[in-house]
Chain A
Amino acid sequence: MEKDTGLLLYRNMLLIRMSEERLAQSRQAGLVHGACHTYVGEEAVATGVCAHLNQDDMVFSTHRGHGHALAKGVSPFEVMAELYGRETGCSHGRGGSMHLFKPEVGLMGTSGIVGPCILQAAGAGYTFKLLGKPNVAVAFFGDGASNNGAFHEGVNLAAIYKLPVLFVCENNLYATEVPSSYSSGNPDIYQRAIGYGIPGVKVDGNDAWEMFLAAGEAVRRARAGEGPTLIEAKTYRTRAHSEGMRDVGYRTQEEVESWKARDPIKMLRDRLLRDHTADEDDIDNVHNEVTARVTDDHQRAADSPWPKGSDALSHVYFEGA
């Protein structure tokens, strides 16, 4: 592993983690007005995949999308301001946690509906193919979406048209609170790829380096015109489904603790030190940088102006370039 890559992955995971811990705190303080689904524990997936993407590549995300937005290059300030309902938010206060948009950097939207992102990523893949662009589209979705018809239709369409798409299933074992072992005929989602005639890959979603390698191969295939790949990242969210919700009754404390012990940030840190890719000072520098950034971005977001009520009716239809 190269030091730059290792520290980049570490830095981006830490940025997601600290931003979301700040958001969880802000929600308790009343700064976040609606839902707040955190990605804590799953940071390696978005970070590993997005490290291969440039601004013209497109990401279509889910209701648990802060990590995807931050990994794709939306600033913590814009994500926080959006959750705080401010004009400076990445969706100008129209969306909140579940509707983060920043097409300028290829974040094509997080979504309150489970499934459509799979279809939309296939659509972006279609555009790239139609217009001869060298880009790839990525759909992040959970194990819950894999049991929705959109998964079947979208993956099949991408397969038959050989579209440059990554279908990244973040299997965190629960669709909200329903276990995927209960809701899936075969809980190994990557095996479904066989049914569509495309490659299916199983990855340890808590290992950033493994994620980085698997995504790298899938992105290469896509850009080479070899078609889509299904990646199943086995991972776990260690906070509640949504901030403020009771996190009991469907999983055990032991299970949560066992996954916390496999914290992806700690795992990468250990690997960087073990392999002498980076030293403690490097790690500390990243920590200091990210801490300052998140503290500063939170303050700016909290100090940002509210949107004007009169803007609530704009952009229902196209209003000119």
Chain B
Amino acid sequence: MAVEIVMPKLGWTAEEATITEWTKKDGELVQRGEVYLLVEGDKSVNEIESFETAILRLLPDGPKVGETVKIGTLLGYFVQPGEKPPFEAAQAAAQLGGQAEPQASPSAAAAAPSPNPDPYAGRDKRGPKISPRALRIANELGVDWQKLTGSGTSGRIVEADVQAAAAAMAATAAAKVAVVQAPPVQPVAAPAIVPAPTQPVVRATPVASNATRKTIAARMSQSAHTTAPVTLTTEVDASELFKLRETLKGEGAGRGAAQLVPSYNDLFAKLVALALQDHPALNASWSDEGVIQHAHINIGMAVQTERGLLVPVVRDPARKSLPDIAAEANRLVEQARNATLSGDDMRGGTFTITNLGMYDIDGFTPVINLPECAILGIGRMVAKVVVVDEANPRRAARTAIRKMMVLSLTFDHRVVDGAPAAQFLQRVKKFVEQPYIWLVR
């Protein structure tokens, strides 16, 4: 019996979505678990998998690739071999012995359609089988292997499949670069759009589109309209942090390019995560059941890209070394820039940091990145004459030139009160001013 294919609902907020690509042709046999359609909505391209083994038939006058349609719009049908889709059945009845039935494509991807569906299909929810080598190379090259069909005799995706996909991807990217020169990536202030945890499998987004902007807009408004944001600012003395980074730079230069020098964002990711360990109230979300305090601490880093804002997430920086954080952040920024960041890399954040220092901004009011409850804005570092040691009973107060910086914490007052939020910011201030405290943790 023919099964309708409609534009799927993606995430929580999307009302409509765009057809990016039909990965199976009209008339092709689609195995249960195989991806047949890519749809863009909520800023990412989503893979739509088939729930059954059947032949794909597209509506002849249905929406075309690139078209944005409402959720639920009919796109086509899945039919069984020999069965005609409704749009053809009527026709066939009218013109007996007319058009030839579309044949299953002999493409490599659907070679030798078997009458019996693969007994293991669908059992493995992680997707198709892939060799460890192919998986490693797919990750290295940023290839979304879940879209691939394995050429191994057992259906396993092997290195050759990934290399072919990478070559195809490179060709596409080269064509795009010819049109638009990608601007350098800059971290910026903003609530970024983090895919909701319950979304279907989300993978790389190779194209920019209006859908991304729309989603950003929707999420911004949602944050602005549903949270009770309060922004606190404080000026901190970042001289020691500056000294630390300069030391690391010197050390890093000696070791060559292999050793990444942690950026200020990397340092903040670590020290903020450690501060959150001490102030778990800020590492929380609002939900219908009340406040959820997260057991893990993952720090989102707002990054401006060609396609708009992205917030890749650094996992558990509290427990990672600075070189590891630097390496992870570097990879995330790279992937954000070349549009290979996966949905997984944007999911699961519990707190976000955003840095406008390079634009000479001091204090600002960052917008909370839902479902998180707070976001820290990092301002520029600037040399100022300040009074130091005025609280030190063993030293006379004096003036000195120090590297000063403003921190702006926006928090959701529904989730956390002003005093605990201020205490958290005070903790962050202390960590910036005396990095040795957390470096030894």
Q: Touch between A and B in complex, CB under 8 Å?
A: no
User: Which A positions have Cβ atoms within 8 angstroms of B?
Assistant: none
User: Which B positions have Cβ atoms within 8 angstroms of A?
Assistant: none
